[in-house]
Amino acid sequence: MKYILFILLTALAACQPSIATNTTDAPPPTAMAMTDSYEPTIPDTAWLHGDFNGDSIPDTAYSILLKARVDAETQDEYTIRFTTQDIPDLYAGEGDLRLINEGDLNNDGRDDISIFRKPGNGCTYDMQPWSFTNGKWKAISDMILVPTFCDYMSDSAVQARIVNVDSTLFFYEPDYNIDITKLVRKRLPLL
Ligand SMILES: [Ca+2]
Ligand SMILES: [Ca+2]
C-alpha cells in the first residue's frame, strides 16, 4: 500500500506545471549581506569622575555602547551612564567620544560634562556641555565644532576650549579670518 501511495505521489508531482524562474532578475542571496568591511576602533572615551549632582559625593560617568555600527558608513551609538543611581543616562548619540569634566560652567555648584565626539568623516569633532539640573540633563549651549586638523588633542586642551570668565562662558575656535593656527575667543551661545 505504501508503495502504491509513493507511486501516486511521484506521478502527481510529475504532473505539476513547472514554475518558470528567471534567475537573471532575482538578486543573489548574498546581495543583502553587508559587503563593507571596517576595523573596529576603541572609543576615545570613557569614564569621568566628578560631582555632577552636587551632593559632595564623587560620581563616575562612563559610556555605554547602545548600538554598534552596521557598516563603514555609520558610527557606534553611545549613552553615558552613572554610578550614582539618581543620575539618569545622558544620551550621547553617534560617534566615539571623550568625556570632559568642565568644572562648574553655569555656577550652580555642580560639575558639568562636555561630550567631545569624533566625526564620521574628517577631523572636526563636535562638543557640547551638559549640566545636571533639577534631576535632568540639560545642554548648556549649542554644539560647537572643534577642528583638530587631525592632530590629537589632550583632555586639557579640549577642556580649555570652553571657559568661564567672570560667570560668562566663552569658547575658542580657530581664527578663520586671519590665521587658523591661532585661536580666537567667542561668546558661547547659551540655550
Ligand atoms: Ca555626587
Ligand atoms: Ca554646573
Cell readout for 87 is 543620575
Please list all protein residues whose beta carbon sits less than 5 angstroms from ligand 2, which is an ion.
Answer: 104, 106, 108, 110, 112, 131
Model confidence band, residue 110 (pLDDT cutoffs 50, 70, 90): very high
CA end-to-end distance (rounded Å), the chain: 84
| CA dihedral sign, ordered 188, 111, 90, 69 | positive
Query: Which ligand sits nearest to residue 108's alpha carbon?
Result: 2
Dump pLDDT digits (tens) for 57-108: 999 999 999 999 999 899 999 999 999 999 999 999 999 999 999 999 999 9
Distance 153 CA to ligand 2 centre (A): 24
- Nearest one of 103, 54, 59, 102 to 81, comparing CA atoms: 59
> CA 189, CA 83: separation in Å to the nearest integer?
30
Flag whether pLDDT at 159 surpasses 90: yes
Q: What is the pLDDT of residue 21?
A: 38
For 65-90, b/e burial (b = at least 16 CB within 10 A) is eeeebeeeeebbbbebbbebeebeeb
Dump pLDDT digits (tens) for 2-59: 544 444 444 444 444 443 334 445 444 333 333 444 444 444 457 899 999 999 999 9
Query: Which ligand sits nearest to residue 53's alpha carbon?
Result: 1
Distance 113 CA to ligand 2 centre (A): 9
> CA 173, CA 189: separation in Å to the nearest integer?
13
> CA 103, CA 50: separation in Å to the nearest integer?
8
Distance 3 CA to ligand 2 centre (A): 85
Query: Which ligand sits nearest to residue 84's alpha carbon?
Result: 1
Residues whose CB is less than 8 angstroms from the CB of residue 93 and which lie 6 or more positions away in sequence, other chains included? 77, 78, 117
Query: Which ligand sits nearest to residue 51's alpha carbon?
Result: 1
Q: What is the pLDDT of residue 129?
A: 98
Q: What is the pLDDT of residue 150?
A: 93
Query: Which ligand sits nearest to residue 132's alpha carbon?
Result: 2
Distance 93 CA to ligand 2 centre (A): 22
Distance 104 CA to ligand 2 centre (A): 4
Distance 88 CA to ligand 1 centre (A): 12
E-assigned strand segments in 11-155:
47-50, 59-67, 77-82, 90-94, 97-103, 112-117, 124-133, 136-139, 144-147
Distance 130 CA to ligand 2 centre (A): 8
- CATH class for domain 47-150? mainly beta
Beta strand pairing call for 97-103 and 179-187: unpaired
Average pLDDT over residues 122-146: 97
